[in-house]
Structure 1
Amino acid sequence: MTSSAHPAVINHFFSGSSWIEGAALDQLDEMSRLPGVLEIAAFPDLHPGKYGATGVALLSSQLHPLLIGNDIGCGMSLFGLDLPLRKLKVDKAAERLRRLEAQAIGDASELLAEAGLPIDLSPGALGTIGGGNHFCELQAVEDLADGGHAAGLDDQGLYLLVHSGSRALGAAVFSETVAAHSGLAAGLDPGSEAGAAWLASHDRCVAWASLNRRLIAARAAAALRADLRLIADVPHNLVRSCDRGFVHYKGAATVAAGELAPIAGSRASLSHVVLATSGVSRSLNGISHGAGRKYDRATMHGRVGRNRSEREQLLRNSWGGVAICDDRALVVEEAASAYKDAGQVMADLQSEGLIIGLASMRPLVTFKKAVDEVEAEQRRRKPEYRREGGRGHERY
């Protein structure tokens, strides 16, 4: 990274009880010395990233595309379903949600046009979740605070939490930007042609990602034969302009006072719905978007899921919930133990006066990745598959 001799102010919005790696703190220091950086807010989900720490809001007079990375516009959207909890059968819901990405979404070109986007902007990828830590999760209220009802939450209702972003579109914008600017570590002047071009592409990615989350939820609702309503759509990987420059949200949810936001746990721990307070002005209008990783993906392969039985256990939780994930490596890498304690994240954010907790949400069905049934059947019919007894295509 190209650095400045005068580091920016770093404000920590986490306590000594939070798990914070030294490598993440080192990256914070490096980020504070980048050209144009004026202020950084660091949150309790802070952890190391490729081009800088994740779980931060960073104010700068320069644009820093490297800090935002390739999943531009990634965020979380919370939806309410008109399906009552009392009618839910988890295994039946899981069976239906397994076919989530096979649900019709309508004409992609028309949907893009309605969102004010070019009709040829990655239409084939719309309504798809992607890999990594992205998911679509069916949730129920575990505990409802006094302000929960006033915010429209119902402890007898069901909810969808969708975490996804701009898919290959954001990756293409990022790759093109890196290829075009050898000195990108110094950032881009927002008044330059290059800076304006990146911002325009960035804005399209943010809008596309929001549409994508809405269509994922629509597919899930169709699979469950339910209608849905949007409660909150909160991105956490983007840039927003303000009177002092540009705030870069890297794995940090951008909120204004009075707005609702989800804070995700893991597929075996509670998530939360919160109300942002006026205190978020102190944190560059940012809060944590989730628990944050405790262990990286490579490390997890030596910790859990060493055999089929262990992997199957990872797909169940203590509330009787299930996860749909047919990628064995992803099952291990996204195990609950890979993440920090979302309860501690909540405690820190509330202690700092940034949020008020409205509800905790238990995970019932978490969709991550399913094997295409047609492709699986074709594989089963192949002679070489039958000779090998199907060992290469175990289902988890």
Structure 2
Amino acid sequence: MGNFVKHVSDRACVVTSDATWMEDAALAQLVTTSQLQGMQRVAGMPDLHPGRGYPVGAAFFSTQMFYPALVGNDIGCGMALWQTDMRASTVKLDKLEKRVGNIDGPMDDTAAVAQAMARCDVLPSGHEASLGTIGSGNHFAEFQQVDTVNAPEALAALGIDKQHLLLLVHSGSRGLGERILRQHVDALGHRGLQADTAEAADYLAQHDAALRFAHCNRQLVAQRLLANVRADGRCVLDVHHNFVESASIHGQVGWLHRKGATPSDQGAVLIPGSRGDYSYLVRPTRLCHDTLLSLAHGAGRKWIRSACKDRLFKLMTPTQMGRTALGSRVICNDKQLIYEEAPQAYKGIDSVVQALVGAGLVELLARTKPVLTYKTRGECCE
């Protein structure tokens, strides 16, 4: 692992390099979290950045108890990658942007929603209207083109054809996850749950339901977009990066929380950059318990949201920000959100991925570049 895994305390480490942007505030939150009752080890990823009390881009391993607050309100947030039948060489951006349409509101096809819910074992929760929608914040759907191939055989094994566009969907459990966390916080604050209690069992049942909801949501977002652009597709991978599960780390049984961290024990994953940067399809090379079987889930923020518009609005209009340096387009008609999610607000994806490579955690399979990113056609709803 060389110098790419750095210990910041006796129970906290971070995967980083000299080229990786890393805030002191994020490291301080990582160390503070390592001191929670029952916490054995925490690991920050190269996309580590400060969150609301707890860092984002990290994994946390505890024994005897687990912490719903470490999972956060977007339980099951994650990414699904679809191979489409759209030939990259024939796609016209103007036509694609028009056909994508508007997926901000509830789906009209209630039969499709019901079928997806049944297929994913999602029970009614009162949040069905959110299924098939992306949400706000850093969530998005993005058509991508394979730019560089590092491992042709691995791509073929995944069923990825570089001649056709990919579709990446990043979303989660929408309002359902928020409701579950709010119920816990209202009752118990940020305290952890003893693993063998009725309260723990109740949370885990709701948590697992939110994971299924999030998976179903990503499937419906992809199906909805593919139908709009008159294309077919096949899901290549779908992985959560906000959840808690029972795990064994260095032979010790406990609870592994991930807050903006991708599992390294589920095969190949895609690590996206900002809306104006490349993404990397990578394959884990080993199961590293020191870094809690986890990888980065994206580029990670450099700027807090409230600072973005003030830094950028005199330099670029929202219309200008709808075009990127890579030639792609961004659909985002929320004038605040398009500044908050500007490429400049994120770390460079190369520095994040190269830290993982340097640590011996992944090998590169391919690089993709954005073609069209969908955020929202209007004022994004929660």
> Deviation string for 1:288-313 (max 9, x for gaps)?
01000000101112111237x52222
1:380 corresponding residue in structure 2: none
**Structure 1 residue 151, shift from structure 2 partner:** 3.6
Per the normalisation by structure 1, the TM-score is 0.87
The answer as to 2:6 corresponding to 1:26 is no
1:333 corresponding residue in structure 2: 340
1:290 corresponding residue in structure 2: 298
- Of the structure 1 ranges 9-18 and 31-40, higher mean CA displacement relative to structure 2 is found in 9-18
2:268 corresponding residue in structure 1: 260
Tell me, in whole angstroms, the C-alpha distance in 2 between the residues paired with 1:191 and 1:316.
52
1:378 corresponding residue in structure 2: none
**Structure 1 residue 119, shift from structure 2 partner:** 3.0
Tell me, in whole angstroms, the C-alpha distance in 2 between the residues paired with 1:85 and 1:154.
10
Corresponding residue to 1:64 among 64, 67, 92: 67
Corresponding residue to 1:304 among 312, 333, 344: 312
More relative contact order in 1 or in 2 (CA 8 Å, sep 6+)?
2
**Structure 1 residue 282, shift from structure 2 partner:** 3.7
Structure 1 contact 105–219 (Cα < 8 Å) conserved: no
2:322 corresponding residue in structure 1: 315
2:3 corresponding residue in structure 1: none
Distance 1:354 1:209, change over 3 A: same
Tell me, in whole angstroms, the C-alpha distance in 1 between the residues paired with 2:376 and 2:158.
32
Tell me, in whole angstroms, the C-alpha distance in 1 between the residues paired with 2:288 and 2:172.
24
The answer as to 2:98 corresponding to 1:95 is yes
**Amino acid in the other structure paired with 1:247:** L
1:76 corresponding residue in structure 2: 79
Counterparts of 1:174-189 in structure 2, within 5 Å, are 174-182=181-189, 184-185=190-191, 187-189=192-194
Distance 1:8 1:207, change over 3 A: farther
**Amino acid in the other structure paired with 1:206:** L
**Amino acid in the other structure paired with 1:223:** N
Tell me, in whole angstroms, the C-alpha distance in 1 between the residues paired with 2:262 and 2:298.
9
**Structure 1 residue 104, shift from structure 2 partner:** 4.6
RMSD: 1.7
1:194 corresponding residue in structure 2: 199
Structure 2 contact 104–376 (Cα < 8 Å) conserved: no
**Structure 1 residue 41, shift from structure 2 partner:** 1.5
Tell me, in whole angstroms, the C-alpha distance in 2 between the residues paired with 1:206 and 1:8.
32
1:377 corresponding residue in structure 2: none
Runs of 4+ aligned residues of structure 1 deviating over 4 Å after TM superposition are: 101-106
Per the normalisation by structure 2, the TM-score is 0.91
Counterparts of 1:1-396 in structure 2, within 5 Å, are 9-61=11-63, 62-101=65-104, 104-107=108-111, 108-146=113-151, 147-182=154-189, 184-185=190-191, 187-243=192-248, 244-256=253-265, 259-306=267-314, 310-371=317-378
SS in 1 for 2:86: coil
**Structure 1 residue 90, shift from structure 2 partner:** 1.1
Tell me, in whole angstroms, the C-alpha distance in 1 between the residues paired with 2:103 and 2:229.
9
SS in 2 for 1:155: coil
**Amino acid in the other structure paired with 1:77:** A
- Of the structure 1 ranges 109-118 and 77-86, higher mean CA displacement relative to structure 2 is found in 109-118
Structure 2: runs of 5 or more not aligned: 1-8
